[in-house]
Structure 1
Amino acid sequence: MKMKTSLLVAVLFATSLSASSQIGKRFPSERKVIKDPVTGVQLTFLTSTPTGDAKIYQTHNQWTADGQWLIFRSGRVKGEVLAVNEKTGDQVQVTEGGYTGMLCVARKSMKLYYMHPIDTSKRNGVLQVVETDLARVFADSKAGHMQKASVYQRVCGTISDSLNGGGDMGLDADETQVYFRVSHSEAAKHLAPGTKLESNFGPRNMGAGPSGLAGMNLTTGGIKYIVSVPFQIGHIQTNPWVPGEIVFCWETGGKSPQRTWTVMADGTGLRPLYPESEYEWVTHEAVITKDEVAMAIMGHRNIPKTINNTTAGTAWNGVNPGQEAAWGPSGTREKPTGLAIVNLRTREMVIAGQTKSGSGLWHVHGSADGRWAVGDDFSRSIYLIDRHTGEMIMLSTGHKATAGDHPHPTMSSDGTRIEIQSAMLSADNKSMNICIIPVPEEWLKRKYN
């Protein structure tokens, strides 16, 4: 299946961009450096006002290819994307005309890829995949000589409304392709005859299939179908070091019968990444090295005397989710839990660490060199693990369990610092800011045999 950008769609996009030429708009630095009041670790808040900031999900890259800027979402400009300079705190708007779904920051080039909805009144309408030339935006913004948005933004291709399955998208390691979820109707066309469709799973009534993946060539706009599965796909991500390797999940909003999956871009190699049992609550997988994926095996629920005993869980109070009995027997510490790392090649899994009590590690990540693993918990505390020694420390806490979202820690490509989103500075205890936590200097100096 091939699809090219129509002249009409291109005109509509150009019109939407010219309506208000804001790309390159600069905002003053809000950068603040404070000490964590509990751990003493230095925290650098790159934003510090209550304007609704949010980092990119931890499955995706956060820093630009030059390592100087972080891309984030913000209420400063509704529906647009901003970048903040890690050293100066300068903020620059880097999109114009709106976006939807996942932001894909290239690692090799100074480019940003995202989806742009043609008609924002439609839930699943026509989408464009757009490329922003970040280097040019930053240079012209600094010089104070911005041009029209179309100079910086290029439409790579179009996803029709019949193919649109939502905003999930991942950028391939070679930066020539993006992969995205397709609609139920399109996925059904490619299922093998007789495939049994999965129903919704769990109390959130999510997870039913079918769903599927397709890829777009960023030069030609051509679209190639990859695979269909009988369940709902979520969290599409790529291996940043291996072209054509895709990781995704069975999305239910909580525990899945089989959470993690992998497939190659040519449709081969579809398999569970980590085969799990009904007792394991696997979640928040993220590719961290060329051969490894980190994931959380949750240990956040009480051990019941019997599966149907009321002590199996308490009602969700908004702070500690996943307590509903309808999730089944998983998520207790009756079985091994913690920050797990599975090898894509050998399929071996090890548990790098786990908190001694509480929810256990929840959103996880790690360094590309294999030295560190990092995770947050329900209290929004951040933990760092030395994968060589097994030592674990709390790096930071006090990011407020009432925050509008979770910290979602993500390590920098050089493994020296961690980005989170935090409500520590917010008077309303909800609004979040972009925060950088360094790996302790004494840990960085460690030598291993």
Structure 2
Amino acid sequence: MSLRKTSLLLGLLLATVPAWAQIGQRFPSEKRVVNDPVTGTPLTFLTTQPRGDSKIYPSHPQWTADGQWLVFRSARVKGEAIAVNEASGEMVQVTEGGYEGMLNLAQSGGNRLYFLRKAPEAKAMQAIEVDLDRVFTDSKAGAMKPAASYQRVIGTLPAELEAVGDNALDADGQWFYFRIQGKAYAGARLPAGTKVEPPFGPRGMGAGPHAIGKINVQTGEIRHVVSVPFQIGHIQSNSWNPGELVFSWETGGKSPQRTWTVKGDGSGLRLLYPEAPYEWVTHEAFIGKDEVALAIMGHRAIPGVVDPSRPAATGVEGANPGQDAAWGDAGTREKPTGLAIVNLRTREMNLVGQTPSGSGLWHVHGSPDGRFAVGDDFSRSLYLIDRKTREMLLLTTGHKTTARDHPHPTFSPDGRKIQIQSAMLAADGRGMNICIVPVPKAWLERQP
């Protein structure tokens, strides 16, 4: 082949390589403040374009350790994660090669990101650490190096584990926990005589056994934590107290016993909140060293009672789940419902608020200082609660009911603002953007 043909072929090949493929790619600011049309709350949209944005799940940290960046999922670069600087609005691609499931941000010891991704070995997974500080520095300087300079393979999880992307980073950053769905592996480590649970509910989910494992971030050592006879979901760690986990019995809806807690060494397995058969418990999240918030749903009509305030299923993905009659009678307001906060030490549960009608609060969170709680509902409205006075305040109603998902509120570490994902700006009514909602100044100035 002639030199000219070789050069042309090389040029064509280079032209087909996406310019956005490399970690550290930068995107211009889209930051914009929009007042909520009903409440007037100033909403700071950190992204405004229809690029398939969604926030990290509310059970996990959203901000980097230095509090300057928020990491989120986006289709700006298919299958990769993006970080946005809250002050400037500038965005940076922070992964290369994809990720599976949850994104985990370290809360101390520098800005670092952890996740799982598929390994070259069949059915195996790798645990990955990203040095975000180096990514941000080199990206700003326009001096990016190959991805391996920023992304470190902590270790490869054996295929027999069938590890999935449901995972969490310990508070001290030493252990990275992950879900194991390999039934042979999990079952072999169940206590003798344990009854393995069958599927529960109309979605045919919930069957076990599953397990939790962990990998040491520094050494790559892999250890078993605990096996249980049901399907595990939503593994999360206490960001203030190392070696403490919460996870769920995942059925896709009402569970026999939704919330569980266990120590990082596998000891102390117990129910977090022992629920009654008529209760529909969901969306638990650590909100402080000693507390977990969860929703006790009041979203379903009482059998035989016509109640137009109850939102029906719409057929839109993620719209109003749990309306299927096959779930039984759980989730009605014949019994107490609302945003509940469980103390991990005393085991006491406290209901701090509930909407007077409609679905009730659905995804819930709280400020680490114990002053405020927050929740969304099926209308995609966001409510702030003063835990001391029990006063509730509607913060925003602008998130469209047709949105692809719920707002999923998460408080910032300083308790002064809340991150949500919002479809307010979506032309199609479904696409979401990353949005910051302030706690009103008058509330912040109240005596704790």
Compute the TM-score of the two structures, normalised by the length of structure 2: 0.92
Q: In structure 1, what is the equivalent of residue 3 of structure 2?
A: none
Shift of 1:194: 1.4
Q: In structure 2, what is the equivalent of residue 170 of structure 1?
A: 168
Shift of 1:193: 1.7
Q: In structure 1, what is the equivalent of residue 203 of structure 2?
A: 204
Q: In structure 1, what is the equivalent of residue 12 of structure 2?
A: none
Q: In structure 2, what is the equivalent of residue 100 of structure 1?
A: 100
> What SS does the aligned partner of 1:199 have?
coil
State how far apart, in whole Å, the 2-side matches of 1:229 and 1:313 are: 35
1:36 to 1:21, Cα distance in 2 relative to 1, 3 A: closer
Per-residue Cα deviation, 1:410-438 (whole angstroms, up to 9, x for no partner): 00000000000011001000111000000
Question: 1:48-127 counterparts in 2 under 5 A?
Answer: 48-108=48-108, 109-119=110-120, 125-127=123-125
Q: In structure 2, what is the equivalent of residue 258 of structure 1?
A: 257
Is the Cα–Cα contact under 8 Å of residues 184 and 210 in structure 1 kept in the other structure? yes
Q: In structure 2, what is the equivalent of residue 321 of structure 1?
A: 321
State how far apart, in whole Å, the 1-side matches of 2:417 and 2:153 are: 33
1:227 to 1:390, Cα distance in 2 relative to 1, 3 A: same
Per-residue Cα deviation, 1:299-346 (whole angstroms, up to 9, x for no partner): 00011149xxxxx99666343210112112210000000000000000
* Equivalent residue for 2:133, pick from 130, 135, 139: 135
Q: In structure 2, what is the equivalent of residue 431 of structure 1?
A: 431
Is the Cα–Cα contact under 8 Å of residues 313 and 324 in structure 1 kept in the other structure? no
State how far apart, in whole Å, the 2-side matches of 1:314 and 1:101 are: 30
Q: In structure 2, what is the equivalent of residue 276 of structure 1?
A: 275
> What SS does the aligned partner of 1:326 have?
helix
State how far apart, in whole Å, the 1-side matches of 2:155 and 2:42 are: 43
Q: In structure 2, what is the equivalent of residue 7 of structure 1?
A: none
Per-residue Cα deviation, 1:168-216 (whole angstroms, up to 9, x for no partner): 0000011000111112221011011211111111111100010111111
Q: In structure 2, what is the equivalent of residue 300 of structure 1?
A: 299
Is the Cα–Cα contact under 8 Å of residues 59 and 285 in structure 2 kept in the other structure? yes
State how far apart, in whole Å, the 2-side matches of 1:51 and 1:356 are: 35
> What SS does the aligned partner of 1:187 have?
helix
State how far apart, in whole Å, the 2-side matches of 1:355 and 1:208 are: 33
State how far apart, in whole Å, the 1-side matches of 2:421 and 2:312 are: 28
Per-residue Cα deviation, 1:357-376 (whole angstroms, up to 9, x for no partner): 00000000001000110000
Q: In structure 2, what is the equivalent of residue 395 of structure 1?
A: 395
Is the Cα–Cα contact under 8 Å of residues 21 and 149 in structure 1 kept in the other structure? no
1:432 to 1:313, Cα distance in 2 relative to 1, 3 A: closer
Is the Cα–Cα contact under 8 Å of residues 125 and 163 in structure 2 kept in the other structure? no
State how far apart, in whole Å, the 2-side matches of 1:30 and 1:19 are: 20
Shift of 1:162: 1.2
State how far apart, in whole Å, the 2-side matches of 1:19 and 1:46 are: 23
State how far apart, in whole Å, the 1-side matches of 2:382 and 2:312 are: 25
Count matched residues.
423
Shift of 1:164: 2.2
Q: In structure 1, what is the equivalent of residue 373 of structure 2?
A: 373
Q: In structure 1, what is the equivalent of residue 156 of structure 2?
A: 158
Is the Cα–Cα contact under 8 Å of residues 422 and 434 in structure 1 kept in the other structure? yes
State how far apart, in whole Å, the 1-side matches of 2:416 and 2:197 are: 42
Stretches of structure 2 that go unaligned for 5 or more consecutive residues are: 1-17
> What SS does the aligned partner of 1:66 have?
coil
State how far apart, in whole Å, the 2-side matches of 1:283 and 1:72 are: 23
Is the Cα–Cα contact under 8 Å of residues 101 and 164 in structure 2 kept in the other structure? yes
Q: In structure 1, what is the equivalent of residue 192 of structure 2?
A: 193
Per-residue Cα deviation, 1:217-239 (whole angstroms, up to 9, x for no partner): 01111111011100000000001
Q: In structure 1, what is the equivalent of residue 347 of structure 2?
A: 347
State how far apart, in whole Å, the 1-side matches of 2:49 and 2:120 are: 31
> What SS does the aligned partner of 1:162 have?
helix
Q: In structure 2, what is the equivalent of residue 213 of structure 1?
A: 212
Compute the TM-score of the two structures, normalised by the length of structure 1: 0.92
Q: In structure 2, what is the equivalent of residue 3 of structure 1?
A: none
Q: In structure 2, what is the equivalent of residue 443 of structure 1?
A: 443
User: One-letter code of the match for 1:131?
Assistant: E
Q: In structure 2, what is the equivalent of residue 15 of structure 1?
A: none
Shift of 1:242: 1.1
Per-residue Cα deviation, 1:52-97 (whole angstroms, up to 9, x for no partner): 0010000000000110100001000001110001111100000101
List 4+ stretches of structure 1 deviating above 2 A: 18-21, 312-319
State how far apart, in whole Å, the 2-side matches of 1:428 and 1:20 are: 25
User: One-letter code of the match for 2:418?
Assistant: I
> What SS does the aligned partner of 2:159 have?
coil
User: One-letter code of the match for 1:194?
Assistant: G
The reply to whether residue 230 of structure 1 matches residue 229 of structure 2 is yes
> What SS does the aligned partner of 1:303 have?
coil
State how far apart, in whole Å, the 1-side matches of 2:58 and 2:93 are: 21
Shifted more, 398-407 versus 247-256: the winner is: 398-407
1:439 to 1:50, Cα distance in 2 relative to 1, 3 A: same
> What SS does the aligned partner of 1:279 have?
coil
Is the Cα–Cα contact under 8 Å of residues 20 and 77 in structure 2 kept in the other structure? no
Q: In structure 2, what is the equivalent of residue 40 of structure 1?
A: 40
Shifted more, 20-29 versus 283-292: the winner is: 20-29
State how far apart, in whole Å, the 2-side matches of 1:161 and 1:401 are: 41
Shift of 1:21: 5.5
State how far apart, in whole Å, the 1-side matches of 2:314 and 2:39 are: 29
User: One-letter code of the match for 1:200?
Assistant: P
User: One-letter code of the match for 1:118?
Assistant: A
Q: In structure 2, what is the equivalent of residue 11 of structure 1?
A: none
User: One-letter code of the match for 1:69?
Assistant: W
User: One-letter code of the match for 2:400?
Assistant: K
Is the Cα–Cα contact under 8 Å of residues 314 and 324 in structure 1 kept in the other structure? no
> What SS does the aligned partner of 2:136 have?
helix
Shift of 1:118: 2.2
State how far apart, in whole Å, the 2-side matches of 1:19 and 1:420 are: 30
User: One-letter code of the match for 1:145?
Assistant: A
